[in-house]
Amino acid sequence: MNNVKERILKALRDSHQEGTGQPVSGGELAKRLGFSRAAVWKHIEELRRSGYPVAASPRLGYWLEAEEDLVFPEAIAETLSQAPAGRGRVPEWRIEHHLSLPSTNDRAMELAQDGAPEGTVVMAEEQTRGRGRLGRAWHSPKGTGIWLSTILRPACSPAATAAVTLVAAVALSRAIEAESGLRPGIKWPNDLLLSGRKVGGILTEISAELDRVNHLVLGLGVNSNHAAGDFPPDLAGLATSLRIELGRKVSRTALTVRILAEFASSYQEFLERGFASARAEWLERSATLGRAVVATGPTSRLEGLAVDLDPDGALIIKTPAGDLHRVTGGEVTLRS
Ligand code: BT5
């Protein structure tokens, strides 16, 4: 988005946040930005065409409708630069915000290939081809969730990056709890569950050589503001949103700030001390341990009890015969 539009959005948002709920008059905007009223009008029209709900009244001026449904990239960057927890290894988040993309992971992968730095974040209001693992689809309709991917460049082996998904799951669960009071359980390796239904998922993709990671793209999806009827029939019994669980909408901007801040500090700790500290919290937040599970791989099927998470992040399953197995990939289903 260009600078002028960001400044107009900021002026509208500031007036909203001051709690006055007052529209900003065209004259006032023109004065603040140093433009003519006609130029302000033109930019507002463009904002509206790109999907921003700017309301206008000839007598009152302009204001934003449904503020909690909008993500403000500049507000996210500004708040993060002030939050101590946001100053982890990632010195500066650089946020690229789109109204629509096929997949934020695809865009982040392209940017990473072109040399974009660690901390580059791609967000989209909607994804038209959002992806889960193993070629599965991720339902990402407009304005109802957080669809975000970030580029990381950890100096570690490809094998060690599996733990980044688990570190991110802990950070995501923590951020959701801080923002909503709800405490999602983590289902190994990448699902976040509330009331037994999926509220978020993580897709980690890497570009690597045999012993060295070039870059990693961490994709996070959180269903924040879906109403019950917003899920397609095939997800109706499987998925939930923070709004459904809480009975009110959440601010996607505030939640995004929390997610990035929590992740920055967890990631720094992971780089300095390895997976140990996240592991302890993963165990506390786990929705998998102590449950009867079925682990399926391309050619294998294992039933048993999930009993532990090993120091590398592999799930330990105990079969009815008492054997312990390490599971490092594939699918794990909870049995009721
Ligand atoms: C995941 O895959 O859970 C990873 C999801 C990652 C999504 C983010 S959004 C930003 C970034 N850009 C992308 O393109 N992707 C990432 P997996 O464990 O394979 O789960 C996929 C399964 O979850 C699907 O087969 C559905 O059953 C279910 N599902 C799809 N959309 C869902 C949604 N919005 N909420 C809950 N469940 C969903």
Q: Nearest CA to 221 among 112, 313, 123, 111? A: 123
Residue nearest to atom 35 of ligand 1 (CA): 239
> Helix (H, G, I), strand (E, B), or coil: what is residue 243?
helix
Q: What one-letter code names the amino acid at 135?
A: G
> Helix (H, G, I), strand (E, B), or coil: what is residue 102?
coil
pLDDT interval class at 87 (50, 70, 90): very low
**Ligand 1 pocket member 219 (CB < 6 A):** yes
Residue nearest to atom 27 of ligand 1 (CA): 235
For 223-269, how does the pLDDT look when each residue is reduced to its tens digit (9 = 90+)? 999 999 999 999 999 999 999 999 999 989 889 999 999 999 899 89
Q: What is the pTM of this model?
A: 0.87
b/e string for 216-228 if b means 16 or more Cβ within 10 A?
bbbbbbbbbbbee
Q: How far is CA 179 from the centre of its chain?
A: 13
Alpha-carbon span 284 to 267, nearest angstrom = 18
Question: Mean pLDDT highest for which of 36-50, 75-89, 182-196?
Answer: 182-196
DSSP β-bridge partners for residue 294: 303, 333
Q: What pLDDT, on the 0 to 100 scale, is given for residue 336?
A: 76
Quick check: 321 and 305 in contact, CB under 8 A? Answer: no
Q: What pLDDT, on the 0 to 100 scale, is given for residue 23?
A: 86
Q: What pLDDT, on the 0 to 100 scale, is given for residue 13?
A: 78
Residue nearest to atom 4 of ligand 1 (CA): 132
Q: Can the peptide bond before residue 189 be classed as cis, meaning omega within 30 degrees of 0?
A: yes
As a whole number, mean pLDDT of residues 91-107 equals 88
Percent of residues, the chain, with pLDDT higher than 70 = 93
pLDDT exceeds cutoff 80 at 311: yes
As a whole number, mean pLDDT of residues 198-224 equals 96
Q: Which long-range contacts (CB under 8 A, 24 or more apart) does 247-250 make?
A: 249/68, 249/69, 249/224, 249/225, 250/68, 250/179, 250/180, 250/224, 250/225
Q: What pLDDT, on the 0 to 100 scale, is given for residue 11?
A: 83
**Ligand 1 pocket member 201 (CB < 6 A):** yes
Question: What mean pLDDT, rounded, does the chain reach?
Answer: 89
321: Cβ–Cβ under 8 A, 6 or more apart, which residues?
none
- Ligand 1: centre distance to CA 267 (Å): 22
**Which has the higher per-residue pLDDT, 199 or 271?**
199
For 155-178, how does the pLDDT look when each residue is reduced to its tens digit (9 = 90+)? 888 988 899 999 999 999 999 999
